[in-house]
Chains A and B, each alone.
Chain A
Amino acid sequence: MLDSLLALGGLVLLRDSVEWEGRSLLKALVKKSALWLVYHDFFRDPLNWSKTGEALPGGPLGALRAMCNRTDLGPVTIALDSLSWLLLHLPCTILCQTLHTVSHQDSCPPGDGSPVGKVHVLGLLHEELHGRGPMGALSSLAQTEVTLGGTMGQASARILCRRPRQRPTDQTQWFSILPDFSLDLQEGPSIESQPHSDPHIPPVDPTAHLTFNLHLSKKEREARDNLTLPFQFSSEKQEALLRPRPSQATSHIFYEPDAYDDLDQEDPDDDLDI
């Protein structure tokens, strides 16, 4: 799936993060698709600080807009490293409009009726840099979204593909990039590398060699099972409460008065006239 990403037209978003970088995958995809590479160098002087006159007019946005009006009709792949830079320097709406115009050129053929080759736009986007609004806007423009991740040193790409009039597909592909920037598709991380207990060693019984007895004999177990808990409201207790009690010896209180105790039996509140 990963190697046929550019088969469909439109915008392909490559979302990477600090831990799993996407530039090498971008280069690998460019290498795979490009027969002829035109390189617009905006790295050295994107904002025209050096004022040498070498910079293309309009900066990166101007160059992107120039691609909207191309005259040659062959299929073309436009790779943007990175969309994040454009999104930080331009308003989101302008960028989205430009991307939409560029990636949908094949849907509006020029006046003479000749077919226009497919346009693929491959953009690298750094996930942590942008809020949900711009990310959502670009995501809705994209036909395919590739989110980079990985585990245990192995990189993976989650490919979400939205084709017109079809259900979106969601696949994960494990891969690695070889030093010559070719794509090496792989199976997932091997299961053997995960640690698990050795089946040959039997689990140790911790109650085996103690100096005190933790086990119950059969009789003791039965006696324990037959015991009712003191505060459990069982049927016997219910009957014992409902049955009128025979006059049992009630409990006695034995009181030895102290020397200074007042044993006046009169009601101390007698003189109150309530």
Chain B
Amino acid sequence: MFPELNNLLNTTPDRAEQGKLTLLCDAKTDGSFLVHHFLSFYLKANCKVCFVALIQSFSHYNIVGQKLGVNLTMARERGQLVFLEGLKSAVDVFFQPQEKPHPLQFLREANAGNLKPLFEFVREALKPVGSGEAGWTYPVLLVDDLSVLLSLGLGAVAVLDFIHYCRATVCWELKGNVVVLVHDSGDVEDEENDILLNGLSHQSHLILRAEGLATGFCRDVHGQLRILWRRPSQSTSQRDQSLTYQYKIQDRSVSFFAKGMSPAVL
């Protein structure tokens, strides 16, 4: 996890809010550093994490996780981390007989299906298992990422329904958190992605949006992060609703600074 990002979000692993949906989105840049941040954040917070990883392999997240101070292999072995490696298990849908529907069963269906098997996988992974459990604090669902589900043939409404059910179970019933990543197509007209992004934005409590700089690539400033807290319109709240920072990704950390205040230009 990145301590500077924790400061911006005013949170630490031991006093994070529960029952929240956090939406990560990226436009014209790669926002996966946010996924790595939250993965290591919640592992350090001693949460039971279910990670639906559809984009990269387990070893990729493990290597980055080690730079951030968490060992995914050990977390998986002791049961703290339930990892669905989409790239590997997608093949199992076709080649291995399954008693019950595979989480990625929709890949076999000709028509646009729904994500009920995936939801049941998540619910099974995160359900509290009696008193013999090692005492994880609260469950967390992490999805990287949802836009690829649209590319795989699902409709935006099916993905929204899946997140709705995850929110009802993980956030509301189990008092845990959900973190999802969606790509913003930006200039490219992608109606389904826009519906997905806007629908999720309305359901989220916190939106982190990583944007590339409008002027193009820069060696010292890799992008800009917009943080939007969706809070009810209360006049008593003194915190800002929206903050914008620029960032630079380094090997083991990400440094954040106010716009135009990069150390390279000062």
Residues in chain A within 8 A of chain B (CB atoms): 16, 18-21, 23-25, 43-47, 49, 84, 88-89, 126, 128-129, 150, 153-155, 175-179, 184, 186
**Contact with B157, one of A49, A88, A154 (Cβ below 8 angstroms):** A88
**What residues of chain A lie closer than 8 Å to B207, measured between beta carbons?**
18
**Contact with A126, one of B119, B161, B198 (Cβ below 8 angstroms):** B198
**Contact with A84, one of B119, B161, B202, B240 (Cβ below 8 angstroms):** B202
**What residues of chain A lie closer than 8 Å to B32, measured between beta carbons?**
none
**What residues of chain A lie closer than 8 Å to B165, measured between beta carbons?**
45, 47, 49
Q: How many Å from the CB of B156 to the closest CB on chain A?
A: 8
**Contact with A49, one of B116, B199, B234 (Cβ below 8 angstroms):** B116
B201 within 8 A of A: yes
Q: How many Å from the CB of B150 to the closest CB on chain A?
A: 15
Residues in chain B within 8 A of chain A (CB atoms): 114, 116, 119, 157, 160-161, 164-165, 168, 172-173, 194-195, 198-199, 201-202, 207, 228, 230, 232-236, 240-242
Asked whether A88 lies within 8 Å of B199 as measured between CB atoms, the reply is yes
28 A-B pairs with CB atoms under 8 Å apart are: A18-B202, A18-B207, A18-B228, A18-B230, A19-B241, A20-B233, A21-B233, A24-B233, A43-B168, A44-B168, A44-B173, A47-B114, A84-B202, A88-B157, A88-B199, A126-B198, A128-B194, A128-B198, A129-B195, A129-B198, A153-B240, A154-B235, A177-B232, A178-B234, A178-B236, A179-B236, A184-B235, A186-B235
Considering the chains assembled together, what is the distance between the CA atoms of A153 and B241 in angstroms? 7
Considering the chains assembled together, what is the distance between the CA atoms of A80 and B232 in angstroms? 18
Nearest chain B residue, comparing its CB with the CB of A88: B157
Asked whether B233 lies within 8 Å of A176 as measured between CB atoms, the reply is yes
**What residues of chain B lie closer than 8 Å to A175, measured between beta carbons?**
233
Considering the chains assembled together, what is the distance between the CA atoms of A183 and B172 in angstroms? 26
Considering the chains assembled together, what is the distance between the CA atoms of A88 and B194 in angstroms? 13
Considering the chains assembled together, what is the distance between the CA atoms of A93 and B241 in angstroms? 37
Q: How many Å from the CB of B219 to the closest CB on chain A?
A: 32
Asked whether B233 lies within 8 Å of A177 as measured between CB atoms, the reply is yes
Nearest chain B residue, comparing its CB with the CB of A131: B191
Q: How many Å from the CB of B184 to the closest CB on chain A?
A: 12
Considering the chains assembled together, what is the distance between the CA atoms of A176 and B119 in angstroms? 37
**What residues of chain B lie closer than 8 Å to A126, measured between beta carbons?**
198-199, 202
**Contact with B233, one of A18, A88, A150 (Cβ below 8 angstroms):** A150
Asked whether B232 lies within 8 Å of A24 as measured between CB atoms, the reply is yes
Asked whether B232 lies within 8 Å of A88 as measured between CB atoms, the reply is no
**What residues of chain B lie closer than 8 Å to A49, measured between beta carbons?**
116, 119, 165
Given A43-B168, A49-B116: A129 in contact with B236 (beta carbons within 8 A): no
**What residues of chain B lie closer than 8 Å to A23, measured between beta carbons?**
232
Asked whether A129 lies within 8 Å of B168 as measured between CB atoms, the reply is no
Q: How many Å from the CB of A187 to the closest CB on chain B?
A: 12
Smallest CB-CB A-B distances: 5 pairs: A155-B233, A24-B232, A176-B235, A128-B198, A18-B201
Considering the chains assembled together, what is the distance between the CA atoms of A129 and B242 in angstroms? 21
Considering the chains assembled together, what is the distance between the CA atoms of A88 and B198 in angstroms? 12
